[in-house]
């Protein structure tokens, strides 16, 4: 039997590992009395034993059986994972054991589980294609303690029938409670706490608060934050710690730092930016250039394992929304002490890198410094001064203009070098939303990107690579930013789709990673550019953080990390501390080991996905909200996706995507050819395919489902008449 370890005085003589080992030895389920007998354990340790069993049960390692015994989960053909419900209603359990494929679960086999819950799934005989089928037998952890829902109608004296705002929660809710000052109206959004299941598809819930009207943009933002568990306030002790920091750096802080306040550092950001964590300066030298990238020294003020640090780890990054931001640090740090504001001294970590005249990397050095930014510039200013040669703008920024012109020269060389090595430049446009004073969206345009943006990106990439190379050489644990190459089968599928677009004949035949760059260059400036970039991005693996050295496929970089944004990314803060340790900066003698860094990286990867999902969802919601005001309007669109029930079109006049359903086209019966990813009319031979331009009008918007529904304009719906006026 299990050998008990020698405990310290007053400590329980067994551990959870001993319990798991016991299950493996006896090879059968175990009852409570068996634990005492097999483990030679006194009943005085009953509370400790129960706590350990509860902990193992919550972790999904063991499960309680109907007879009162516990069994080892993996020996019972039971697996643990997270339930992910598709919008179609079916579900998949994403297993904790990443070596195994997801388990398909039919809606009838969910039990009481909801989307996002951590569950135990029993495998059913047989299979379903590549996914084995299962049934959920236990809920280990609820994904959410509360649910946001939409009021549908009043029920009885004080009840309201509601539907969850997340369409993956496919049940109804009977919400009751008296916390609201007035009765909620139809389409008002509520936060409720689920109670018991009343019947299949109906849960009871208690009303906690009202968010407000569904058609309010601010309400939509708060809704998304709640649904994605994004923190909206700091704990009191974190706020107090931030307020306890000095308002400005002291002379003592400048000790052992290189003083660069004489250099003409500038920050370049968006016009609405409030936190400036990077500043740049470029000098031309006899046979090349020298680049200084100064990054706010957040680690000087945020000590490892302090309350500020612990909160930052949990948040992992800042979360950006169209009208608000939930920062990783309180504003005292993010907008004040650690923001490289102009004309005030600020502490920084500097990457100083030399480049030869052709842009080839020379050498780097790194050090703590104090800088003083000479100007807070915007991308628009840089464009007008450098690219448009606007004399008024050049006069305004004349003190730093010569430096900016040198910076432009270097940035263009670096961009060309990166392109030569195979780096992919995706230029999928981002939405720029304009709101009125009440917070309602009044325009959704494409953000204009120009070399002013790219210049800063090139310098940040150069600094990130330089730091990653240095830390790799000195073998200090830190987080790499990696990007695996796309899977070959996905790459082959992408090239098949691309060859069926209007540019298909121009694209290379061989589906290789190297040819992706060729594809993007051919599509540049064409009507199909957006579709090609979108399809290519969908083929890419997701970038992530890891403590193990791997390459970054998208940037064609052998060694890469995130060093340049410690205000808004915790990964960068880890890199800063690693850099200080490598430089033997006082106070950084000890550093987290590889295992600890890897564990933090895995947490950061999860939270980064949460941030991405939340940003995508709020964009969809705000877009749908804006499009409600455009019902009846006509647009030109490019087909961006095809399915058996219709196709999606990306609109040109407004940055929005909508669907044209086949049920709205009555000139023919259409067949979906999946291998060609297109729809073909049986009688007319009419074709709808990726990249095709169509004329549409907006006839319906479903805000609840974030759906924008389009119809072909009459001349397109009936097919074009190709004869001329004389019938020839």
pLDDT at 153: 93
The pLDDT value given to residue 411: 96
Strand 188-199 and strand 147-155: the pairing is antiparallel
Distances in Å between the Cα of 690 and the Cα atoms of 35, 427, 525, 671, 694 are: 63, 18, 17, 15, 11
What is the pLDDT averaged over residues 52-73? 79
Q: Is 498 helix (H, G, I), strand (E, B) or coil?
A: helix
Task: Confirm if 628 and 703 have CB atoms less than 8 A apart.
Answer: yes
% of residues, the chain, pLDDT over 90: 59
Mean pLDDT of 628-655: 93
- Going by pLDDT thresholds of 50, 70 and 90, the confidence category of residue 720 is very low
**What confidence tens digit (pLDDT) does each residue in 536-590 have?**
888 899 999 999 999 999 999 999 999 999 999 999 999 999 999 999 999 999 9
Burial level of 371, CB count in 10 A (0-12/13-18/19+)?
buried
Averaged pLDDT score across all residues of the chain: 89
Q: What is the mean pLDDT of residues 194-208?
A: 90
Contact 148, 227 (CB under 8 A): yes
| pLDDT tier at 727, thresholds 50, 70, 90 | very low
Residue 723 has pLDDT above 80, yes or no: no
What distance in Å separates the CA atoms of residue 55 and residue 660, rounded to the nearest whole number? 51
Is residue 454 within 8 Å of residue 341, measured between CB atoms?
Answer: no
Looking at the predicted structure, is the pLDDT value of residue 726 above 50? no
Quote the crossing angle between the two packed helices 529-539 and 513-523, to the nearest 10°. 160
pLDDT at 722 > cutoff 50: no
Q: How confident is the model at residue 290 (pLDDT cuts 50, 70, 90)?
A: very high
Q: In this predicted structure, what is the pLDDT of residue 122?
A: 83
- Rounded CA separation 218/232 (Å): 13
- Decide which of 219 and 504 is more confident: 219
DSSP codes, 166-205: STT---EEEEE-S-SSSPPPTTEEEEEEEEEEEETTEEEE
Mean pLDDT calculated for residue range 450-473: 95
Residue 724: per-residue pLDDT: 40
Pick 78 or 240 by higher pLDDT: 240
R_g (Cα) of the chain, nearest Å: 29
Q: Pick from 186, 183, 189: which is nearest to 166 by CA?
A: 189
d(CA 364, CA 559): 15
pLDDT of residue 547: 96
Q: Nearest Cα to 137, choosing from 54, 34, 57?
A: 57
User: Helices (DSSP H) in 360-483: which residue ranges?
Assistant: 379-382, 391-396, 401-420, 451-473
Letter string b/e over residues 94-115, b meaning 16 or more CB atoms within 10 A of that residue's CB = ebeeeeeebbbbeeebbbebbb
Predicted local distance difference test score (pLDDT) of residue 59: 76
Distance CA(602)–CA(605), nearest Å, equals 5
> Do 251 and 542 contact (CB within 8 A), yes or no?
no
Closest alpha carbon to 258 in 111, 377, 369, 342: 369
- CA dist 408 and 488 (Å) reads 37
Q: In 3-state terms, the chain is what percent helix, strand and coil (to 5)?
A: 30, 30, 40
Residue 263 has pLDDT above 60, yes or no: yes
Separation of first and last alpha carbons in the chain? 95
pLDDT level of residue 28 (50, 70, 90 thresholds): confident
- Position 725 scores a pLDDT of 37
Q: How far apart are CA 415 and CA 634, in angstroms?
A: 40
At residue 719, does pLDDT exceed 60? no
Mean pLDDT is highest, among 42-51, 71-80, 603-612, 666-675, for: 603-612
Give me the mean pLDDT over the 198-217 stretch. Answer: 91
Average pLDDT value for residue range 129-143: 81
User: Per residue in 7-18, pLDDT tens?
Assistant: 566 678 888 888
Average pLDDT over residues 324-332: 94
Using the 8-state DSSP alphabet, how is residue 533 labeled? H
Minimum mean pLDDT range among 109-123, 338-352, 448-462, 659-673: 109-123
pLDDT of residue 456: 94
- Does residue 130 surpass a pLDDT of 70? no
Residue 60: which of 135, 133, 117 has the closest Cα?
Answer: 117
């Amino acid at each position: 039997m299990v050998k008990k370890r020698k405990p310290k005085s007053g400590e329980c003589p067994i551990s959870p590992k001993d319990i798991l080992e016991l299950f493996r030895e006896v090879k059968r389920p175990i009852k409570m009395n068996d634990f005492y007998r097999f483990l030679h354990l006194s009943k005085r340790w009953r509370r400790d034993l129960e706590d350990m069993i509860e902990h193992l049960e919550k972790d999904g390692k063991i499960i309680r059986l109907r007879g009162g015994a516990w069994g080892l989960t993996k020996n019972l053909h039971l697996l643990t994972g997270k339930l992910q419900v598709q919008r179609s209603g079916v579900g998949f359990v994403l297993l904790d054991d990443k070596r195994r494929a997801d388990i398909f679960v039919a809606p009838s086999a969910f039990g009481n589980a909801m989307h996002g819950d951590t569950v135990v799934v029993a495998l059913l005989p047989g299979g379903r294609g590549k996914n084995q089928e299962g049934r959920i037998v236990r809920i280990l952890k609820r994904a959410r303690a509360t649910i946001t829902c939409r009021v549908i109608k009043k029920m009885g004296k004080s009840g309201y029938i509601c539907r969850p705002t997340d369409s993956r929660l496919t049940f109804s809710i009977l919400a009751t409670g008296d916390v609201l000052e007035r009765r909620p109206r139809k389409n008002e959004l509520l936060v409720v706490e689920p109670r018991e299941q009343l019947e299949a598809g109906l849960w009871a819930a208690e009303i906690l608060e009202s968010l407000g009207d569904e058609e309010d943009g601010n309400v939509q933002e708060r809704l998304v934050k709640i649904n994605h568990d994004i923190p909206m306030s700091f704990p009191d002790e974190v706020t107090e710690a931030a307020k306890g920091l000095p308002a400005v750096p002291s002379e003592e802080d400048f000790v052992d730092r290189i003083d660069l306040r004489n250099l003409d550092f500038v920050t370049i950001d968006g016009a609405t930016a409030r936190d400036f964590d990077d500043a740049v300066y470029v000098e031309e030298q006899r046979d090349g250039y020298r680049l200084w990238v100064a990054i706010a020294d957040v680690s000087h003020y945020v000590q490892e394992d302090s309350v500020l640090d612990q909160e930052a780890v949990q948040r992992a990054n800042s979360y950006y929304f169209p009208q608000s931001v939930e920062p990783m640090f309180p504003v005292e740090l993010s907008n004040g002490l650690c923001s490289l504001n102009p004309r005030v001294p600020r502490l920084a970590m500097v990457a100083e890198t030399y480049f030869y005249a052709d842009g080839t990397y020379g050498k780097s050095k790194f050090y703590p410094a104090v800088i003083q930014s000479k100007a807070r510039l915007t991308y628009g200013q840089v464009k007008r001064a450098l690219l448009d040669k606007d004399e008024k703008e050049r006069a305004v920024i004349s003190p730093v203009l010569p430096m900016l012109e040198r910076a432009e020269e270097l940035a263009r060389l670096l961009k060309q070098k990166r392109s030569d090595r195979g780096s992919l430049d995706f230029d999928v446009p981002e939405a720029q939303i304009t709101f009125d004073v009440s917070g309602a969206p009044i325009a959704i345009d494409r953000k204009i990107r120009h070399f002013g943006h790219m210049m800063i990106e090139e310098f940040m990439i150069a600094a990130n690579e330089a730091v990653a190379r240095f830390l790799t050489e000195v073998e200090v644990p830190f987080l790499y930013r990696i990007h695996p190459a796309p899977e070959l089968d996905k790459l082959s599928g992408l090239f098949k789709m691309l060859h069926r677009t209007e540019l298909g004949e121009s694209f290379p035949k061989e589906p290789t990673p190297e040819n992706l760059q060729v594809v993007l260059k051919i599509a540049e400036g064409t009507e199909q550019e957006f579709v090609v970039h979108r399809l290519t991005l969908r083929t890419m693996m997701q970038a992530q953080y890891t403590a193990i050295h791997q390459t970054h496929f998208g940037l064609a970089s052998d060694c890469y990390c995130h060093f340049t944004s410690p205000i808004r990314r915790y990964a960068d803060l880890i890199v800063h501390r690693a850099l200080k340790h490598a430089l033997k900066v006082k106070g950084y003698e000890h550093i987290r080991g590889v295992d600890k860094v890897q564990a933090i990286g895995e947490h950061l990867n999860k939270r980064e996905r949460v941030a991405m999902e939340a940003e995508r969802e709020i964009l969809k919601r705000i877009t749908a909200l804006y499009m409600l005001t455009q019902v009846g309007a006509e647009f030109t669109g490019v087909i961006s996706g095809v399915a058996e029930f219709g196709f999606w079109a990306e609109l040109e006049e407004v940055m929005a995507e909508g669907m044209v359903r086949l049920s709205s086209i009555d000139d023919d019966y259409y067949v979906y050819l999946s291998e060609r990813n297109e729809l073909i009319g049986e009688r007319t031979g009419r074709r709808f395919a990726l990249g095709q331009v169509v004329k549409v009008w907006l006839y319906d918007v479903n805000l609840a489902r974030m759906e924008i529904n389009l119809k072909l304009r009459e001349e397109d719906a009936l097919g074009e008449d190709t004869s001329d006026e004389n019938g020839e």
